Amino acid sequence: ETGVTQSPTHLIKTRGQQVTLRCSSQSGHNTVSWYQQALGQGPQFIFQYYREEENGRGNFPPRFSGLQFPNYSSELNVNALELDDSALYLCASSDQGASSYNEQFFGPGTRLTVL
Amino acid sequence: RKEVEQDPGPFNVPEGATVAFNCTYSNSASQSFFWYRQDCRKEPKLLMSVYSSGNEDGRFTAQLNRASQYISLLIRDSKLSDSATYLCVVSRAQAGTALIFGKGTTLSVSS
pLDDT in tens, B66-89: 999 999 999 999 999 999 999 999
Q: Place A97 in a pLDDT band, splitting at 50, 70 and 90.
A: low
C-beta atoms of B96 and A92 within 8 A? no
CA angle B85, A4, A112 (to 5 degrees): 65
- pLDDT of B1 strictly over 60: yes
d(C-alpha B38, C-alpha B91), whole Å: 18
C-beta atoms of B32 and A106 within 8 A? no
- pLDDT of B29 strictly over 90: no
Q: Which of A90, A91, A101 to mutate to test the interface with B (most CBs of B within 10 A)?
A: A101
Q: Place B8 in a pLDDT band, splitting at 50, 70 and 90.
A: confident
Residue type, A110: T
Q: What is the mean pLDDT of residues A1-24?
A: 94
Q: Place B93 in a pLDDT band, splitting at 50, 70 and 90.
A: low
CA A16 to chain centre: 20
d(C-alpha B80, C-alpha A44), whole Å: 28
Percent of chain B with pLDDT over 70: 96
> Which of the pair, A103 or A93, is modelled with greater confidence?
A93
d(C-alpha A9, C-alpha B105), whole Å: 25
Q: What is the number of alpha carbons within 13 Å of residue B87 lying toward its C-beta?
A: 23
- pLDDT of A73 strictly over 70: yes
B18 has which bridge partners? none
C-beta atoms of A99 and B93 within 8 A? yes
- Name, in order, each residue with C-beta under 8 angstroms of A23's C-beta and a sequence gap of 6 or more: A4, A5, A6, A32, A34, A73, A74, A75, A76, A91, A93, A107
Total H helices, total E strands in chain A: 0, 11
Q: A-B interface: how many C-beta pairs under 8 angstroms?
A: 64
Q: What is the number of alpha carbons within 13 Å of residue B64 lying toward its C-beta?
A: 21
Tell me the nearest-neighbour CA distance from A75 into chain B, angstroms: 17
Report the residue from B4, B43, B100 with minimal CB separation from A107: B43
